[in-house]
């Protein structure tokens, strides 16, 4: 057990084992890094509500296809979206994971956006 040099009456020693292993925080910082770009957040939000191809996403966001592809690659490598191939076309959507649901909910709450009826993120069962 780590003994702190000053005693301020709080006794935070109990939480030290929870953050000594920095791997959890490294994973979180990589995840949050994905949302350091507003366009990537918008793209993620769109993919939480529909499955789309690069061409349509490009038109929806008024961005070039290479720019959209760059953001899709980043989101996919972080495990936040998935893609499925249909012929020559690849369709992207939000991954069905607890992390994606939590990020979707956080974006919805923090930005005060309402989800359209076609949300791909499953509602929590009550």
Is 7 part of any domain? no
What is the residue-level pLDDT of the chain in tens, covering all 126 positions? 667 676 677 766 677 776 777 777 788 888 888 888 899 999 999 999 999 999 999 999 999 999 999 999 999 999 999 999 999 999 999 999 999 998 988 888 887 777 766 566 666 543
Domain count for the chain? 1
CATH code: domain of residue 102: 1.10.10.10
pTM for the model stands at 0.76
Q: Is the residue at 17 inside a domain?
A: yes
- Asked if the structure places residue 16 within a domain, the reply is yes
Return the closest-CA partner of residue 71 out of 106, 49, 88, 47: 47
* DSSP H or E run through 8: none
CA distances from 69 to 12, 37, 75, 85 (A): 45, 14, 10, 15
């Amino acid at each position: 057990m780590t003994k702190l040099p000053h005693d301020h009456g709080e006794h935070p020693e109990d939480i030290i084992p929870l953050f000594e292993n920095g791997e959890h925080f490294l994973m979180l910082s990589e995840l949050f890094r994905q949302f350091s770009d507003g366009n990537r957040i918008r793209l993620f939000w769109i993919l939480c509500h529909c499955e789309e191809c690069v061409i349509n996403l490009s038109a929806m966001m008024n961005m070039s296809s290479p720019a959209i592809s760059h953001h899709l690659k980043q989101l996919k490598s972080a495990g936040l979206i998935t893609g499925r191939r249909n012929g020559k076309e690849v369709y992207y959507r939000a991954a069905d994971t607890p992390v994606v649901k939590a990020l979707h909910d956080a974006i919805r709450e923090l930005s005060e956006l309402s989800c359209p009826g076609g949300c791909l993120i499953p509602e929590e069962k009550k």
